[in-house]
Structure 1
Amino acid sequence: MLLLLFVFLWISPGFALDGNIGKFWQLSDVHFDPEYSQHGNPKKQCHFTNDSIGNPGYYGNYLCDAPFNLVESVIENMRNMEAEPDFILWTGDTAPHVKQKSLEDVLGLIRNVTTVLKEAFPNTTVLPLLGNHDAFPSNQMPLVESGTQYYDNILSKADWSELLWKHEQDQFQKGGYYSRTVQKGLRLVMLNSNLWYSMNKQVTGNLDPNQQLAWLRQELTDAKAAQQKVYIVAHICPGAFERLQSMTWFYPEFNRLYVDLITEHSDTIAAHFCGHEHTDSFRLVKDAQGTTSSLMYLSPAVTPLKSPLPGVGANNPSVRLYHYSRATSDIVDYQQYYLNLTQANEDQGRQGKWQLEYQATQAYNITDCSPRNFYYLSETFHDASILFKLYMDYNTVSYNNSAMCGQACFTSQICAILYLDTDQYNNCLFWSGTTPQPHHHSTTAPHHTTTHHKRHHLPPPLPQYVYYIIGGMGTLIVALAVTVSCLCVRKRRQGIPFKYSHFVGPINS
């Protein structure tokens, strides 16, 4: 009987008798604002002003970026909940949304969070990457060829030299990206995807900013040769924002090149991890045959800031703990932790209590977090399904559980989940009846203009030429039908007996 119990535990999801299940944290979009004041004005980023009244909150405010109390709280609770993870993914955007005075200010903010993380996890590998707000000015991630010292300064003045090995620092200086093999069969590729961001004017006219695409291709090739699986980690992922229809992140050409590259190497990539959106979502990544081969996990933010984008809203502070197989690199499960900001600020003892919001396998009733299971999960989604309603609650980290999601809202969500390719995403919107016929992007060099522009079972997207074929065939069929009709009428008139002539008019007149 005892033997059967051990066998049952061994095969249960998330349990490994031999300790073969590892854990790692993802911390994203901290957006630490040192000017946050408990006497500040929420309508003015919670900064102290002469007209400040009341207390915007000890741990933060939904109208503002994160105070240092929140930064310390999330990292302290990470340590309390799992003090010895295999590694920590720190996926960018440490600086706040307010305009920074200088690059030195940005570097100081990143250095402060680096220090707190190192003190909390002195023996843990911390792997950082840059967000679009970590540049100065925001979004303007520079090209190395411009002579910038930005990447050197991140290493020396933000203390990332204490997190990265020497050869990783050498690579980072070439464009803000690097890789690390964290164990024999797993390579982490840490991207600077801000170079492809459609708000970055520094890369205008450049076909491969800081040669990152060429480097990524080589990393994936080398990993396959070494029989390694790859986790791709980026601040911004390709595709569209699920909460705002037709808002895409990359320049169209970079989106196409990137999606083509990860499709080509789908057998090597085990998973993708992103931030940037501040929301909790996922994307299905497909191989050349259209089969879901891996997932993009979009982890929500630490900052609770309400987005200025229409209909997007705020979120509760959050952090995520993944469980993965050290043998296969597959993601087995993950736990999403959050701080109910309203309750935490009301707690007079100022003991912000982080809670388990959900565990993926239990919440979504799946055995593990395999791409196949998330594909089947997406198949159950429709605008009235229980699991989709649950997903929508988690999408804002339980900030607004009463929000309704109608057909247009559902379409925005499901098309973003299903299609990373811009043309396929636009076709998905078109077939849902929510947008005009999509414009298909050129495959020539990017113009670099900013492109922030029923049921689940939507018809598959069609190539542009299909529309012309259908139109041509339709015209031909109509022409044939008219011709045949005329011939039939003429023959009928010639063959009708005289006694029926009062129904059809005179014959042979």
Structure 2
Amino acid sequence: MQLTGRLAVLLWLCLLAVPLPAAGGGSGRFWHLTDLHWDPGYEAAAAAGRPCPSGGDRAGPAGPWGSYLCDSPWSLLRSAARAMRGRLPAPDFVLWTGDDTPHVPNEQLGEEKVLHIIANLTSLINETFPGTKVYAAMGNHDFHPKNQFPGKEHRIYSQTAELWRPWLSDASLPLFRAGRVQFNADFCLGALLARREIILYFSLSCHCQVTGKNAEGGKISLKVAAGAGSAGALQSCPAPGAAHCTHSGLHWERHENDKRHTGKSHCKSTSWSAQGTGLQSQFVLHFCEGAPINVMFLAPGVTPWKTTLPGVSNGANNPAIRVIEYDQDTLRVLDMVTYYLNLTRANTMSSPREEEFPVWEEEYRLTEAFQVPDGSASSMQAVLEKISSDPHYLQLYYELNSARYDLEQCQQECRVDHLCAIREVDFTKYDECVKTNSSASAASRVWLLVFCMLLGFLSPQRVL
């Protein structure tokens, strides 16, 4: 996901009602699917030997399953859906966090094309998981022009509501059509508090499109959630904080930072969050008085698109999908399993015209990869400490960040970027973290150089 100039979107899901079984209901699993970014022009461009539309002027090989310079061809999306059905055919539900259209200029899209893309992806998910509850949200790319979500009725809202009607309740439908929410808002506050369902927060701050009702409604809902002591999850598109790939290229502008403080100021109301549209696999910790109290899990995207974000030199990733395992009674995250497609290998081994699809491998299981008992905030703090002190875990986290696309060594600057992005959601504190750690690293290198020079000066000299 890339945001440029003054355009910035913060999409927080507000209320996600997942019916919970009685106490002792055991564990459940759900799919988190995000950043499909279908490029409908990929195949035609590849056949004609032209760069794909989402690649801009960047020319490169266009494989049958996709290209790191491009958004997803339909063959890749079908492959992902097949892998999901094969790995977990009957999830408790599917969480689909949007960003469906390709990274192309607004002039190459339009309302009809946006709706065409949403309709086709909705059909694909319905065919893959018939009868399964889907909690869907619109990403900032799912409107025309991009990043513009007016707080009033609109054709895109109404037609998307019809597409998602099987997933929407009577309470959600009029809110969606009226532009009050751009997600599945199946909620009734009284029932939510009584049934201890997952409570999510939503606020919308699009460029010149923030409405008082949306903003105030979100604040009220979150205060109620905090009072209920919910253990549920926030959902954000994009996630708050800094880009993990470089401290010179942040995803979001600083004037939006006050909006992001909302999640932190109320973080005692939730213990974890599942978030989308960051494209890469990451996590962020919230601290209160030095103690970790909330962890945000940023899901990797299906699109392999190499970002053009300033300051990022190698920002592609392998396509990935994720299963989250949770305790159905307490909502605690028990584990996460991420599956990925090695796109380079897939493009050399098979063709979408054949019966066989490429294999999506298990990339990692959280508890096994980082040797922690679960996905709680305290466990993820232990992961942070391992990343900070052990080069093995730092390199592992770095490689998992891009679904094993970027396997270069994570050096000191890379280490600082990731550690500060995990620790600090606030931009000011993030900048301070980067500057402090970079200065300390530079100072240590200078002292090492001085020490070596001094050692060489004091050592006995051999005369030839």
TM-score by length of 1: 0.73
- Residues 244 and 312 of structure 1 are in contact (CA less than 8 Å); yes or no, is this contact kept in structure 2? no
1:278 lines up with 2:286 in the alignment:
no
The answer for the alignment partner of 1:68 in structure 2 is: 74
Q: Is the 8 A contact 2:302 2:319 kept in 1?
A: yes
CA change 1:117–1:59 in 2 (3 A) is same
Per-residue deviation at 1:47?
9.0
Do the aligned partners of 1:411 and 1:429 also contact (CA within 8 Å) in 2? yes
CA shift at 1:86, angstroms? 1.2
Which whole-Å deviations, capped at 9, do the CAs of 1:193-217 have from their partners, x for residues lacking one?
6x43xxx5334xxxx5464342222
Identify if the C-alpha distance between structure 1 residues 40 and 245 changes in structure 2 by more than 3 Å, giving closer, same or farther.
farther
Runs of 4 or more, structure 1, over 6 Å off, are 46-49
Q: What does 1:242-321 correspond to in 2, within 5 Å?
A: 242-259=244-261, 261-287=262-288, 289-309=289-309, 310-321=312-323
Once residues 84 and 113 of structure 2 are traced to their aligned partners in structure 1, the CA distance between those partners, rounded to angstroms, is: 26
Q: Distance in 1 between matches of 2:81 and 2:411?
A: 37
Is the counterpart of residue 115 in structure 1 residue 123 in structure 2?
yes
Q: 3-state DSSP class of the match of 2:388? A: coil
**Structure-2-length-normalised TM-score:** 0.79
Give the Cα separation in 1 of the matches to 2:273 and 2:217. 17
Residue 388 of structure 1: how far off its partner (Å): 0.7
Unaligned runs of at least 5 residues, structure 1: 1-17, 436-453, 456-509
State the shift of 1:119 in Å: 1.5
Query: Does residue 186 in structure 1 map to residue 197 in structure 2?
Result: yes
Maintained 8 Å contact 1:129/1:190? no
Counterparts in 2 of 1:412 and 1:179: CA distance versus 1, 3 Å: same
Match of 1:367, SS? coil
Cα distance, 1:256 vs structure 2: 2.3
2:267 aligned counterpart, secondary structure: coil
Residue 202 and residue 297 in structure 1: after superposition, are their counterparts in 2 closer, same or farther (change >3 A)? same
Aligned residues: 402
Residues 33 and 96, structure 2, Cα contact 8 Å, conserved in 1: yes
The CA deviation string for residues 428-479 of structure 1, in whole angstroms up to 9 with x for no partner, is 12212369xxxxxxxxxxxxxxxxxx49xxxxxxxxxxxxxxxxxxxxxxxx
Q: Secondary structure at the match of 2:337?
A: strand
Which sections of structure 2, spanning at least 5 residues, go unmatched?
Answer: 1-23, 443-464
Deviation at 1:69, TM superposition (A): 1.0
- More relative contact order, 1 or 2 (CA 8 Å, 6+ apart): 2
Alpha carbons 2:115, 2:156 under 8 Å: kept: no
Per-residue deviation, 1:220: 2.5
Q: Does 1:96 align with 2:108?
A: no
Q: How does 1:34-433 map to 2 (within 5 A)?
A: 34-37=40-43, 38-41=46-49, 43-45=51-53, 56-99=62-105, 100-139=108-147, 141-144=148-151, 148-156=154-162, 159-172=163-176, 173=178, 174-177=180-183, 179-180=185-186, 184-189=195-200, 191=202, 195-196=204-205, 200-203=206-209, 208-209=210-211, 211-226=213-228, 228-259=230-261, 261-287=262-288, 289-309=289-309, 310-348=312-350, 349=354, 350-382=356-388, 385-401=391-407, 403-433=408-438
What letter corresponds to residue 23 of structure 1 in structure 2? R
Aligned-partner Cα distance in 1 for 2:269–2:131: 29
User: What is the distance in 1 between the residues matched to 2:182 and 2:37?
Assistant: 19
Cα distance, 1:394 vs structure 2: 0.3
- Displacement of 1:314 in angstroms is 1.1
Q: Residues 337 and 427 of structure 1: is their aligned pair in 2 closer, same or farther, counting only changes over 3 Å? A: same
In the aligned structure 2, how far is the partner of 1:155 from the partner of 1:361?
A: 38
User: Cα distance, 1:266 vs. partner?
Assistant: 2.2
Task: Give how far 1:177 is off.
Answer: 4.4
Query: Aligned-pair distance for 1:221?
Result: 2.8
Q: Name the counterpart of 2:456.
A: none
Displacement, 1:148?
A: 4.1
Amino acid in structure 2 at the alignment position of 1:93: D
Say which SS state the counterpart of residue 321 (structure 1) adopts.
strand
CA distance in 2, matches of 1:406, 1:294: 28
- The answer as to whether partners of 2:245 and 2:315 remain within 8 angstroms in 1 is no
Rounded Cα–Cα distance in structure 2 between residues aligned with 1:257 and 1:106 = 27
Distance 1:421-1:62 versus aligned 2 partners, 3 A rule: same
In 2, the alpha carbon distance for the partners of 1:302 and 1:434 equals 37
For residue 189 of structure 1, what is the amino acid of its counterpart? Answer: L
Identity %: 29
Q: Tell which structure's C-alpha radius of gyration is larger.
A: 1
Tell me the CA shift for residue 43 of structure 1. 3.4
Give the deviation of 1:380 after TM superposition.
Answer: 2.3
Q: CA RMSD in A?
A: 2.8
